[in-house]
């Protein structure tokens, strides 16, 4: 049962007869009239569950953008429905004006639309649809909440895509326009040209030189069709927030930029995401569907409050590719976690692949280093200095294994990782 504002207005209107006849019986008589009207209104109110509700499928939306959900409301009964419908969602779904006044004649159907602007990545679920039906007098009515399943998937925002055009321009300079002139691992033949002073004599093509009777050298360009494997850590270290962004979301942004760049370079890109078990795999996607497959796979991922099983993840990488490739580990540069569980599997990976560890750095550490105001800030600065020293020691240990470490702020990590990939490409190290 529900009551409307009209009921309170009717109760207040009882002040007029009380002023005319100021007696207790007048008050009780008026209250009896109000109660009688409420009972009659309730008896004449139809059932709120008489409506038929159905929700249309909702398209995916990028985090920060808006979409709509449509609820089809049908009235199969013989009486006109007058009331309100509230389409409730999780708070993080960002449902705007979700209360709709409806007057629905018998046998008709109407669509009500609610705007959704998710504030968190992942699947945002519908809660319940509340139907409120008032009686003919508008004093009271009935209310019922029924579940109408629905969900909207908020995809990673991919904020770093604004850096993609500039990196693609640098890639075009490497891809055939500015060929590598020294032969090295991970390069392929590009063309022949005349020898100029300073060229490596090991690049001389003696057969072509004999045919042309002038010294000819070979030029080399970065090899295409390399294999890039992205390993996304979803363990407890990825749950930490740096600024206002979880480490996992910042790592996803970096992975998407690198995947877009590597696919344009002609390389194959695969994704493995997990902690103690593998949650998502994106294997063998084509260049045209890669980004869509990646954001769809990443969207429902959430950090798990447990340690990562790096032996399991390394074995999954070995199953994905048996040939040498570029393995990018998107995980936190946490000394304790790396020394306890990552160093041994990492040594095996580094022996077979080119390995890069991409980590989200906390800019608050740099800010704490400069604080020397009072004793509290001095202690904070000392703690920050110790943390930075431990991270640098861990990075040095990884470098001895042949692992490249890219450690940058959330906004700078995608760019730094893409630039490191281009550097490896230009030097023929893939």
C-alpha span between 399 and 392 (Å, rounded): 10
C-alpha span between 422 and 373 (Å, rounded): 43
What is the reported pLDDT for 224? 60
C-alpha span between 425 and 184 (Å, rounded): 11
Q: Are strands 403-408 and 354-360 parallel, antiparallel or unpaired?
A: parallel
- The DSSP code for 283 is -
C-alpha span between 368 and 363 (Å, rounded): 9
- Number of residues assigned to the chain: 430
Positions of the chain with pLDDT under 50: 177-186
What is the reported pLDDT for 137? 78
What is the reported pLDDT for 220? 64
- The DSSP code for 265 is T
Full DSSP string of 182-249? S--TTEEEEEEEE--TT--GGGB-HHHHHHHTS-EEEEEEE-SS-EEEEEEE-SGGGG-EETTEEHHH
C-alpha span between 134 and 287 (Å, rounded): 56
Helix (H/G/I), strand (E/B), else coil: 354: strand
DSSP-H helix ranges across 299-405: 310-320, 335-337, 343-352, 363-369, 375-400
Nearest CA to 321 among 261, 262, 269, 265? 269
Helix (H/G/I), strand (E/B), else coil: 355: strand
The pTM of the whole model exceeds 0.85? no
Which uninterrupted H or E stretch holds 85? strand 81-89
C-alpha span between 344 and 231 (Å, rounded): 16
Nearest CA to 258 among 298, 225, 230, 238? 230
What is the reported pLDDT for 181? 44
Helix (H/G/I), strand (E/B), else coil: 73: strand
What is the reported pLDDT for 314? 93
C-alpha span between 345 and 355 (Å, rounded): 12
Nearest CA to 425 among 277, 271, 275, 258? 258
What is the reported pLDDT for 228? 95
What is the reported pLDDT for 5? 72
């Amino acid at each position: 049962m529900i009551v409307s504002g009209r009921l309170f207005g009717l109760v207040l209107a009882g002040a007029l007869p009380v002023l005319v006849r100021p007696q207790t019986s007048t008050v009780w008589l008026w209250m009896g009239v109000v109660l009688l009207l409420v009972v009659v209104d309730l008896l004449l109110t139809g059932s709120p569950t008489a409506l038929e509700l159905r929700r249309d499928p909702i398209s995916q939306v990028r985090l920060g953008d808006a979409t709509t959900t449509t609820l089809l409301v049908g009235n199969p009964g013989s009486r006109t429905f007058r009331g309100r419908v509230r389409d409730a969602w999780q708070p993080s779904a960002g449902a705007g004006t979700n209360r709709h006044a409806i007057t629905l004649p018998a046998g008709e159907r109407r669509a009500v639309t609610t705007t959704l602007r998710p504030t968190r990545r992942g699947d945002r679920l519908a809660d319940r649809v509340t139907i409120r039906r008032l009686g003919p007098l508008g004093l009271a009515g009935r209310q019922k909440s029924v579940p109408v399943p629905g969900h909207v998937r908020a995809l990673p925002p991919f904020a770093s895509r604004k850096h993609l055009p500039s990196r693609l321009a640098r890639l075009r300079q490497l891809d055939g326009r500015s060929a590598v002139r020294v032969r090295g691992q991970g390069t392929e033949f590009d063309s022949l040209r005349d020898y100029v002073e300073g060229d490596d004599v090991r690049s001389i093509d003696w057969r072509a030189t004999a045919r042309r009777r002038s010294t000819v050298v070979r030029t080399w360009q970065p090899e295409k069709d390399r294999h890039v494997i992205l390993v996304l850590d979803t363990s407890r270290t990825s749950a930490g927030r740096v600024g206002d962004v979880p480490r996992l979301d910042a790592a996803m942004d970096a992975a998407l930029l690198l995947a877009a760049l590597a696919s344009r370079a002609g390389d194959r890109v695969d994704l493995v995401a997990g902690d103690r078990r593998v949650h998502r795999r994106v294997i063998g996607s084509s260049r045209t569907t890669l980004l869509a497959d990646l954001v769809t796979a990443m969207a429902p991922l959430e950090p798990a409050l447990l340690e990562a099983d790096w032996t399991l993840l390394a074995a999954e990488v070995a199953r994905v590719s048996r040939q040498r490739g570029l393995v990018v580990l998107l995980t936190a540069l946490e000394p304790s976690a790396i020394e306890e569980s990552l160093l041994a599997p990492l040594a095996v990976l580094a022996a077979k692949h080119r390995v890069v560890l991409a980590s989200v750095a906390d800019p608050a550490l740099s800010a704490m280093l400069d604080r020397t105001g009072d004793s509290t800030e001095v202690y904070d600065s000392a703690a920050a200095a110790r943390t930075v020293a431990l991270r640098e020691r861990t990075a040095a240990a990884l470098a001895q294994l042949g692992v490249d470490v890219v450690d940058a702020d959330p906004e700078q990590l995608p760019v730094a990782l893409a630039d490191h990939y281009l550097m490896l490409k230009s030097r023929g190290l893939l």
